[in-house]
């Protein structure tokens, strides 16, 4: 599944190289050139992962990592530190500041993508799970593709994440608050009724083949996904 990634890098050439490769891999990317701007972006919409250059203008990437870890809103974001420093003590400093991984420049885009996948697997397992199929619906997280009876469904990113959560947690009832926590996470600032809006969109996309019946409203409790509804 595509991840929301914030790249904090002040070198325009390196930033462009990273961004191009991340977007080719299907990730959604934002950029910042200094720690202050990055912290503001991260608090406004918490990303799944941040790539942070150690040597930034003003506040260093190490101090930014410490700030993120000390902030209740951003403390769980995944962090990969990028730096030209390659001594063991520097790597230890980066990890002790809160980084999940540490990459020494120069690095290959292929290695960077592999490191990102590994970190997301540890911290955001839904982003790297395999395909799942229930009730005639097949969802492939890697390809960002959903099919029903062989026909591809057009889903927005939120509806995709919502369906993925339902399909990997079938036959259980979840309240709106639980769905917001699991699907939207810390990026959500609105009303619980937002869930209803996206449920309607998801059902509408699944309606043609009758698969919308897989999503059940449990009055007074929330929603459930079950193949036994058909």
pLDDT, one tens digit per residue, over 43-74 is: 988 888 999 999 999 999 999 999 999 888 88
Q: What is the dihedral of CA 157, 162, 168, 170, to 10 degrees?
A: -150
Is residue 13 helix, strand or coil? helix
First-to-last alpha carbon distance for the chain, in angstroms, is 27
| Average confidence (pLDDT) over 122-137 | 72
Its pTM stands at 0.56
In the numeric block, which tokens belong to residue 4?
């929301």
Collapse the DSSP code of 53 into the 3-class scheme (helix H, G, I; strand E, B; otherwise coil) and give the result. Answer: strand
pLDDT score of 150: 83
Instruction: State pLDDT tens for residues 177-193.
Output: 888 877 876 545 567 87
Q: Average pLDDT, stretch 217-230? A: 82
Map out the domains of the chain with their CATH numbers: 4-127 (3.40.50.2300), 129-229 (1.10.10.10)
* 118 pLDDT above the threshold of 60: yes
Please tell me which residue, 184 or 164, carries the higher pLDDT value: 164
pLDDT band at 94 (very low <50, low <70, confident <90, very high): confident
DSSP code for 228: G
């Amino acid at each position: 599944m595509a991840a929301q990634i914030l790249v904090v890098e002040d070198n325009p050439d390196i930033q462009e190289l990273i961004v191009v490769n991340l977007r080719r891999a299907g990730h959604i990317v934002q950029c910042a050139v200094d720690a202050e701007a990055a912290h503001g972006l991260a608090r406004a919409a918490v990303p799944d992962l941040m790539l942070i250059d150690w040597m930034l203008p003003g506040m260093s990437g190490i101090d930014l990592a410490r700030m993120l870890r000390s902030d209740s809103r951003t403390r769980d974001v995944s962090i990969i530190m990028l730096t030209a420093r390659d001594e063991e003590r520097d790597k230890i400093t980066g990890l002790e500041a809160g980084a999940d991984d540490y990459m020494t420049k120069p690095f290959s885009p292929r290695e960077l993508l592999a490191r990102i996948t590994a970190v997301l697997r540890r911290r955001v397992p839904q982003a790297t799970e395999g395909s799942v199929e229930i009730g005639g619906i097949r969802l492939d997280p890697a390809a960002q593709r959903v099919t029903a009876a062989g026909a591809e469904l057009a889903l927005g990113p939120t509806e995709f994440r919502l369906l993925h959560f339902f399909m990997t947690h079938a036959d259980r009832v979840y309240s709106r608050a639980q769905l917001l926590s699991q699907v939207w996470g810390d990026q959500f600032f609105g009303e619980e009724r937002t869930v209803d809006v996206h449920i309607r969109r998801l059902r509408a996309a699944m309606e043609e083949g009758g698969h919308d019946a897989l999503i059940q409203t449990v009055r007074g409790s929330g929603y459930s996904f079950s193949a036994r509804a058909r």
